[in-house]
């Protein structure tokens, strides 16, 4: 059998993926009668917060329409327009830190600014608005995006398999998983890399190509299982399992092989 050098970080990620609680085939229970956000249960307050968020998103959509040439250009610098919207999201999140939807949207705005390859220092993404950012700016953006997506997933994940969530939470939770998967997948495609822009306290800082691929596949599958509207993410995940040089399922078979010594203590912190 082919020998594969798996680091402790690879084992941590793959062991987490093999955890039954992270099963991407599980079905989320949706209940229309639940509050639209589990942390803002007052309907009037939720309407106020979500309305403020929608206004910010409409402004971002307007910038995109101008960039696509579908509306007259009124902004001299689209980057500054985006940053103004991001600052408004910052204020909204500062006022309501448990409002996961705003965190998910801020992460998406930063992906547009810095690209899906924002974890790789010096990587070029022609779709991003901010070309050649400095290292400090890239590291700050990477830290914020990963933190926002982690927090959104944490805030909206049901406590148990049978705990229901609202349709709004279902869509946001699925989107957060899919966004994180896209970033992990884009990072894996650029390996070997010279340098990552991941802060040293983040667990991803020591990940290999295998770990990023496996985590991306798991997140794609989770996003697709949570929201049936994202079923295409299942296709992406299954495709990635088998197109990789070290396919995900083969790695999992290696994990349970008696010839591989897995340390007794494995950190199962959130991926």
pLDDT (0 to 100) of residue 14 = 52
pLDDT of residue 222: 87
User: Which tokens sit at 191?
Assistant: 């390996």
Read off the tokens for 93: 């999140």
Query: What is the pLDDT at residue 131?
Result: 77
| Residue 142 contacts residue 118 (beta carbons within 8 Å) | yes
Question: Using CA of residue 204, residue 209, residue 211, residue 217, what is the dihedral sign?
Answer: positive
Q: Is the dihedral of CA 204, 205, 209, 211 positive or negative?
A: negative
Residues shown for the chain: 271
* Helical ranges in 115-208 per DSSP H: 135-156, 167-189
CA 207 distance to own-chain centroid: 16
Beta strands (DSSP E) in the chain are: none
CA-CA distance, 165 to 38, in Å (whole number)?
8
Q: Specify the pTM.
A: 0.78
H helix or E strand, kind and range, residue 93: helix 78-95
Mean pLDDT of successive 10-residue stretches along the chain, which has 271 residues: 50 52 64 95 96 95 86 79 93 98 96 92 81 85 96 94 91 94 92 82 88 90 79 49 44 36 29 28
Tokens 């008696």 correspond to 258
Residue 151 to residues 29, 97, 117, 251, 254, Cα–Cα distance (Å)? 21, 9, 20, 28, 32
């Amino acid at each position: 059998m082919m020998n594969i050098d798996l680091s402790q970080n690879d084992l941590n990620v793959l062991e987490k993926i093999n955890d039954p609680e992270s099963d991407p085939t599980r079905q989320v229970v949706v209940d229309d009668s639940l509050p639209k956000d589990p942390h803002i249960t007052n309907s009037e307050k939720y309407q106020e917060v979500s309305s403020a968020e929608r206004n910010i998103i409409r402004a971002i959509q307007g910038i995109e329409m101008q960039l696509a040439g579908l509306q007259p250009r009124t902004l001299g610098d689209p980057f500054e327009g985006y940053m103004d919207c991001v600052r408004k999201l910052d204020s909204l999140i500062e006022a309501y830190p448990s409002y996961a939807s705003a965190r998910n949207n801020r992460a998406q705005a930063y992906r547009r600014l810095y690209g899906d390859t924002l974890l790789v220092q010096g990587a070029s993404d022609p779709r991003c608005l901010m070309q050649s950012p400095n290292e400090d700016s890239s590291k700050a953006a990477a830290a914020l995006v990963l933190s926002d997506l982690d927090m959104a997933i944490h805030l909206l994940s049901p406590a148990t398999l049978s705990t229901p969530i609202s349709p709004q939470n279902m869509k946001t939770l699925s989107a957060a998983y899919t966004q994180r998967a896209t970033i992990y997948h884009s990072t894996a495609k650029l390996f070997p890399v010279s340098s990552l822009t991941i802060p040293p306290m983040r667990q991803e800082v020591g990940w290999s190509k295998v770990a990023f691929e496996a985590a991306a596949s798991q997140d794609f599958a989770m996003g697709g299982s949570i929201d049936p509207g994202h079923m295409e993410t299942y296709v992406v995940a299954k495709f990635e399992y088998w197109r990789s040089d070290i396919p995900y399922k083969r790695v999992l078979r290696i994990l349970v092989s008696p010839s591989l010594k897995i340390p007794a203590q494995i950190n199962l912190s959130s991926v």
